[in-house]
Amino acid sequence: IKYMRLFLIIKLFFLFLVLNARADFFIESTSTGIVENDGYNLPNGGKFLILKGTYQWTNSIGYYGTATCKGLLERENDLSSINFLCESINQKGDRQYSIVKRKSIDLQSGSGKTKIIDGTGLNKILIGTECNYAVSYLKNVAFTKMKCPVSEKIYKRLKNKL
């Protein structure tokens, strides 16, 4: 029984190491500006705006491309909520679709979450990946950084297919 218990502990330890062996996959993007900002400014100070952004991006593996994001900005009292759907296209023509969400008092900067919900080509292996991002604005230009943790296996597969 001692050996079985020791074997089980060792097996669980190695399983833990394998499951937690992660590499950080960074996607950095910079906006070229908000192309559209259309909606309503309410008399009570609330806002309901449709936004469209156009971006160029690069990541730490060597991929680069363009992205467009369309979504909704709602502002009630001091709290703003942003929900976007983004389509990114890399240099190989592979597409990636992400949902971007953020709640903030300060619209000039903040952080939020994004989740990859669909993709074509090699981007399919990233479906379900959740990422953290931070954004700052200078007038109508957004500067964003995003960090998406993926397994070492996925990281190497993406890097080797470049």
Query: DSSP per residue over 44-110, as a string?
Result: TS-EEEEEEEEEEEEETTS-EEEEEEEEEEEEETTEEEEEEEEEEEETT--EEEEEEEEEES-TTEE
pLDDT band for position 1 (cuts 50, 70, 90): low
Higher pLDDT, 21 or 127: 127
Whole-number pLDDT of residue 24:
62
Check if the beta carbon of residue 50 is closer than 8 Å to that of residue 58: no
- Among the ranges given (1-10, 46-55, 140-149), the one the predictor scored with the smallest mean pLDDT: 1-10
Read off the DSSP letter of residue 62: S
Percentage of residues of the chain with pLDDT beyond 90:
35
CA dihedral sign, ordered 81, 116, 90, 88: negative
SS3 state at 21: coil
Predicted confidence (pLDDT) at residue 125 exceeds the cutoff of 60:
yes
Q: How many CB atoms lie within 10 A of CB 78?
A: 9
pLDDT digits (tens, 9 = 90+) for 51-107: 898 899 988 888 999 999 999 989 888 888 989 999 999 999 999 999 999 888 877
Rounded to the nearest integer, the mean pLDDT of the chain is 81
